[in-house]
Amino acid sequence: MSTNALANIEKAKTLIEKAKTIDKALFIKGLLKEEEIQARKKGLVDIQVLAANYQVLVMQKIGQILLEMKAGGELARGGQPFQKRNVHGGNPNPRPNTREVRHAKHSTDQSKKTTSRKSKVGTKISELGLSRDESSEAQRLAKKSPEEIESIAKEREQKIRERATRKAAEKINQKSKVDQERIQERAEEIAGNAVLQAVKEIDLEDMNEQISSLRGTSKFTIPLPEGQFNVLYADPPWEYEFQQSANRRIEMHYPTMKLEELKAMPVQQHIAQDSILFMWSPAPKLLDALEIMNA
Domain that includes residue 235, residue range: 229-294
User: What would the mean pLDDT of 179-185 be, rounded to a whole number?
Assistant: 73
Q: Is 183 a member of any domain? A: no
pLDDT greater than 50 at residue 19:
yes
Amino acid 229: pLDDT? 92
Q: Is 204 a member of any domain? A: no
What is the number of domains present in the chain? 2
Q: Is 21 a member of any domain? A: yes
Q: How far is CA 187 from the centre of its chain?
A: 22
Amino acid 97: pLDDT? 52
CA angle 74, 76, 81 (to 5 degrees): 155
Amino acid 205: pLDDT? 58
Tens digits of per-residue pLDDT, 113-143? 444 443 455 788 888 888 989 999 999 999 9
Q: Is 182 a member of any domain? A: no
Q: Write down the mean pLDDT value for the chain.
A: 75
Q: Is 57 a member of any domain? A: yes
C-alpha neighbours within 13 Å on the C-beta side of residue 111? 6
Amino acid 66: pLDDT? 92
Cα(153)–Cα(15) distance, rounded to whole angstroms?
19
Tens digits of per-residue pLDDT, 144-154? 998 998 888 88
Amino acid 82: pLDDT? 35
Looking at the structure, do residues 254 and 128 belong to the same domain, yes or no?
Answer: no
Amino acid 252: pLDDT? 67
List Cβ neighbours of 61 (8 Å cut-off, separation of 6 or more).
16, 19, 25
Q: Is 65 a member of any domain? A: yes
Q: Tell me the angle at which helices 45-71 and 132-142 cross, rounded to the nearest 10 degrees.
A: 90
Cα(76)–Cα(66) distance, rounded to whole angstroms?
11
pLDDT greater than 70 at residue 186:
yes
Burial of 176 (0-12, 13-18, 19+ CB in 10 A): exposed
pLDDT greater than 60 at residue 52:
yes
User: What would the mean pLDDT of 64-72 be, rounded to a whole number?
Assistant: 90
Looking at the structure, do residues 24 and 138 belong to the same domain, yes or no?
Answer: yes
pLDDT greater than 70 at residue 193:
no
Looking at the structure, do residues 241 and 133 belong to the same domain, yes or no?
Answer: no
Looking at the structure, do residues 8 and 136 belong to the same domain, yes or no?
Answer: yes
